[in-house]
Amino acid sequence: MKHIVIILLVSLSLLGCQSKLEDTKKQFFLPPATTYNYVEIDSVKLFYREAGDKSKPTIVLLHGYPSSSHSYRNLIPMLATHYHVIAPDNLGSGYSTHLDPATTTYTFDLLSDYTEQLIDKLQIKNYVLYMQDFGAPVGYRMMMKNPKRIEALIVQNANAYLDGLTPKRQDFFRTAQTDTSQVKYDFLYSLTSKNAIINKQYLFDLDSTNINIQSPDAWTHDLAFLRSKSDREIQVQLFKDYNNNLIRYPKWQKMLRENQPKTLIVWGKKDLKFNYKGAKAYLRDLPNADLYLLDAGHFAAEEKTREVGKLILDFLSHHEIE
């Protein structure tokens, strides 16, 4: 009888352990794996990160300067729990082909054309468009061609209004295009240096309250692709072309006004390059947009990944994009 009781107790104990294990399993939720892929277009390889169920709506993440899809390494797993996510590297950035700038002139028209071909090659018809920094001039060019393709728009420190640029900043872009002197070139080239990438790009708008949440992985990765003179020249050419975006702002605004896409604006309010007035300006043309000013700088998705991810998921769920 004693042995039977012991066996019974052991059995109950094992059942209890099994029950706890099952409960523990229920608590764990692992996001889909991210894969790393290439698409070849006209002998050019475009790199992209992909995650999530392809039967779900697609979110396309467009990165800014001086980075790549690496910017979204932490955001992708969060979004991929509910959506199919594509994050490409621009032509000339990250792992995508870096065509020689001596024979290829880099413009935002060129970047947009290749990114659009990548999406077409992946047979993605409609998608949610997320844009940050350089991602805006790439994304808006794509959107201008077929606004109805965009199921929703997510704007993260992605400017389309002069309000978001100080007069000094506007002059920077204008003279980058018009001033062809060696002095101006040398200045633009200096902005692609190690010191400039770290201190004038990533840490420029951070203070003691949020400087420690900016991962050094970001600039370490970026600088790995800015080691050669050729790589840095690519970015200089894009600086020179950027004023064409300012010229197109009115057309982009008109397109937004006429199409009224479902829009989420998530903006790091400490951004000194694309300031928060540029975020608020969107409401003139998109009065129904959701606007959130975060305690972050230009790279809000790097600094506040969880907050940005939750805002996106809540926004898309509210609009029944699922």
Instruction: Name the residues annotated as catalytic.
Output: 298
H helices within 228-276, ranges in order?
A: 229-241, 243-259
Q: Which residue shows structure tokens 């939750």?
A: 310
Residue 253 near residue 288, CB atoms below 8 Å: no
- The whole-angstrom separation of Cα 1 and Cα 263 is 71
What DSSP letter does each residue of 116-145 carry, written as one string?
Answer: HHHHHHTT--SEEEEE-TTHHHHHHHHHHH
**AA letter at 131:** M
Query: Beta 58-62 vs 84-88: how paired, if at all?
Result: parallel
**Bridge partners, residue 294, by sequence:** 268
Helix (H), strand (E) at residue 194: helix 194-195
